[in-house]
A and B are shown apart, each in its own frame.
Chain A
Amino acid sequence: MKRKSLKRLAFGLGAALTLTATAADDAGVPYPQVTDMIYQVVSADRSVYTRLVVERLTIDEEAITASEHFEDDVALPLPAQMFRFGAELVADETEDFSYSLLSLHPINKKNGPGTDLEQQGLQHALDNEEKFYGEEELGGQRYFTAVYPDFAVSEACVDCHNDHKDSPRTDIELGDVMGGVVIRIPMD
């Protein structure tokens, strides 16, 4: 049930972004610029959720907790989960673009690099702390793929990742690159 209302919210986001991508295409906006714009939106939304909802309610007000099993624990979804739910709903609504939050050290293995270019891009983001653009072919379709470094911006992120039993990396510090936001646009 909670998922339903989430779906409505994320649908709005997805629709807005679809519009952005389509408009960009018509105007002939270069791929890097489009992915930069998408990144701005998704990353801003997550920051707002992290600061105004999760950190405020869990740390400042101590009104509720945030949990991976938010339904069972009657808690808030973690910011990374909120980000992923949005990405899944966008994938459900459109094939014009897709995005995901990945890492070379993921807690859940399915969020590790899945393609050669993802591996390369995440490594580049980790090493140079800067974004990476590339092209790759997946399932017979050519994609423009951008990888944006994702920094550890709050204690909550760092603590959870360092403590989780499935985390391959336990020495993360604030400001470190923890992973990357990968955005893909099919090229035609």
Chain B
Amino acid sequence: MLTFTEEILLLLLGEEDGAFLPVNSNAFECALAGATLMDLAFALRIDTDLESLIVLNENPTGLSMLDRILARIAAHPEVMDAQSWVRLLAREEANTIREQALASLVDRGILEQRERRRVEHYPMRDGTAQREIKLHIREVVLADDIPDPRDVVRIALCDACSIFPEVLSDREIEQATPRIRQLRIMDLIGREVAGAIAAIQRTMLMAVRTRLARFRKYVLALAAIGGIATLATVLVPRIPVPDRFGPTLLERLWGDGAWQEWSGYVLLALSVLGFAAASVRRMRFAAKMGDQNWWRVMHVGLGMSCVLLLFVHTGFRLGYNLNAVLMGCYLAALISGAFAGVLMGGATQLRRFGFAQVGKLTRLPMRVHVIALCTLPALLVIHLLIVYLY
């Protein structure tokens, strides 16, 4: 039987290319940590109540990935509650858990590991396992039966990672949403193991949601401001060049070579920083430098300040020829980024209004964002060459 950790990983792999679906990495890491704790709880190695998570039995489970975490919990000098453990493990162990679970899936012959060893790339060798899990989840969600405790955990994990769109059709999601909600909060107290599970499940969900909610607020606000500013400045008529002679601010901004040079380089620097914030967020050392979500907020904030600088540099005049292409691509990157940011930041609210497939919706603007960004280096270098050669 697969562990929860393995199941959740399997669900998150694309069927065709073996690459991970774009999921909020924070939720993903908390889910992995939570899933591991669930696995330990179901193996009767740990127990939890609202204040503490304690080890019941230090005997190895036989699965090295679970045993390592069990050993860590047992060796920990002080007793912590489940929420703290989810956070700690999400931060420090998520990557190891992921890699070990993937290795285990490869060993089981479900996944294949390609020659060029990139962790993200695990094509399905045997698709049956994934299909069966998906089918099972569908059945649980769409049926009216009382689910068994393992299914409740699966539902909670899927919901935390927003992978229902991968499993259900739009109509089914709409139909199943009330039940998902109900299953998630199902009162399992009174069953033998369930107390532990319910507590972990609840704290895991809480951990994911409260932490995200805080950042989502910022992401939503910054992205919305950036997006509105971009659209507004693109759509409203251009500020005309002043028809009165004199070194006015606007004339300097849009006419004086030195000013243009400055605003251009500041814009470039902000763009590079924004790109760096997005890339660093995915790197391991970044996790040590602070919460990953701060990097995202920074990325969105930098994107928003780019809108401002772009206005300073160009007055949102679209330019001509290759400059117009550059401007077009840059605007596409800004607008798609802002749109994705709004969807991501406002996911909770949008779900409440019935847009269950927010995760899927975010994918399109993200793709546009990436493709538009890819064209920028070439266009930018050409822009600079033209400026300095002529």
Do A and B come into direct contact in the complex, CB within 8 Å? no
